[in-house]
Homo-oligomer: A and B are copies of this chain.
């Protein structure tokens, strides 16, 4: 396996404020730009905020000031972007039609493939990374802070920097058969579900979480502590509003 892929683990504590040299950052961004992109349209933009800048500080609360966000050397926001391409079209007398959900998806795919190249290249150069899932939660604030015009929507942020501690062990994953299907989707029996999660549920890490949370099983930690239905629906509505506000959702919605 490509060593960098095999060794990936997320870093959540960086040496606070240790900057990433400009030449190295340029290398990471160049790797991002080599990723596949629909029709070679490059429907993404990457916004780099380095530790110490006012924009970096303003982004912290969008990511709930989690340690990975505030200690990073840079917060790199990957955005779906049909704006730049549409400007070019109009300037050439061509009428673009990319202000819709389908092209938000195309552009989001472009942005995410670029982000993964960026992350792997960072890790290959001795840096650590952490994807911040909070980007889609608080996308409206990020739009304002980064001054994103219509046609541009944030989809993922990579916190990148120098790990403050030795890298942890690899994260456990479900058995490969649990996520792979041959030809058609093979639905899960209750027995398979039990088997797939058995190792994780039996771990000492899980036992400690259950004690800390005073809950009887790991699933309820996910649904009652980490990602509650109420929060999920709140952030879902907020992201739809961002899509509409940025002109990427062409339907009327009754809420």
Interface residues in chain A, defined as those with a beta carbon under 8 Å from any beta carbon in chain B? 1-2, 4-6, 8, 10, 26-27, 29-31, 33-36, 38-42, 44-49, 53-56, 81, 84-85, 87-89, 91-98, 100-103, 105-106, 108-109, 112-113, 115-117, 119-121, 124, 129-131, 133, 136-137, 145-149, 152, 155-156, 170-174, 176, 178-185, 187-188, 190, 193-194, 196-197, 216-220, 222-224, 226-230, 232-233, 235-237, 239-240, 250-255
Query: Chain B residues near A115 (CB, 8 Å)?
Result: 113
Q: Kindly provide the distance from the CB of A88 to the nearest chain B CB, expressed in whole angstroms.
A: 5
Residue from the list B47, B130, B197 in contact with A185, Cβ < 8 A: B47
Residue from the list B31, B185, B193 in contact with A148, Cβ < 8 A: B185
**In the docked arrangement, what's the CA distance between A92 and B145, Å?**
41
Query: Chain B residues near A95 (CB, 8 Å)?
Result: 223, 229
Contact of A31 with B44 in the complex, beta carbons under 8 Å:
no
Contact of A136 with B105 in the complex, beta carbons under 8 Å:
yes
Contact of A101 with B239 in the complex, beta carbons under 8 Å:
yes
State the number of copies, please.
Answer: 2
Contact of A45 with B105 in the complex, beta carbons under 8 Å:
no
Contact of A184 with B92 in the complex, beta carbons under 8 Å:
no
Query: Chain B residues near A170 (CB, 8 Å)?
Result: 34
Query: Chain B residues near A188 (CB, 8 Å)?
Result: 84, 87
Contact of B39 with A226 in the complex, beta carbons under 8 Å:
yes
Leading 9 A-B pairs by shortest Cβ distance = A97-B229, A92-B219, A102-B236, A94-B219, A116-B116, A100-B236, A112-B112, A252-B254, A55-B183
Closest B-chain residue to A174, C-beta based? B42
Query: Chain B residues near A129 (CB, 8 Å)?
Result: 36
Contact of B1 with A4 in the complex, beta carbons under 8 Å:
no
Query: Chain B residues near A101 (CB, 8 Å)?
Result: 236, 239-240
Q: With A39-B133, A133-B39, A251-B253 as given contacts, are A93 and B220 in contact (CB-CB < 8 Å)?
A: yes
9 cross-chain CB contacts under 8 A: A1-B27, A1-B34, A5-B31, A45-B180, A100-B233, A109-B133, A112-B113, A112-B116, A149-B185
Query: Chain B residues near A222 (CB, 8 Å)?
Result: 39, 41, 85, 89, 94
- 15 extra A-B contacts, CB within 8 A, seeds A40-B172, A147-B185: A2-B121, A8-B35, A33-B176, A38-B133, A40-B171, A42-B174, A88-B196, A94-B222, A97-B223, A102-B233, A105-B108, A109-B156, A112-B116, A113-B131, A254-B254
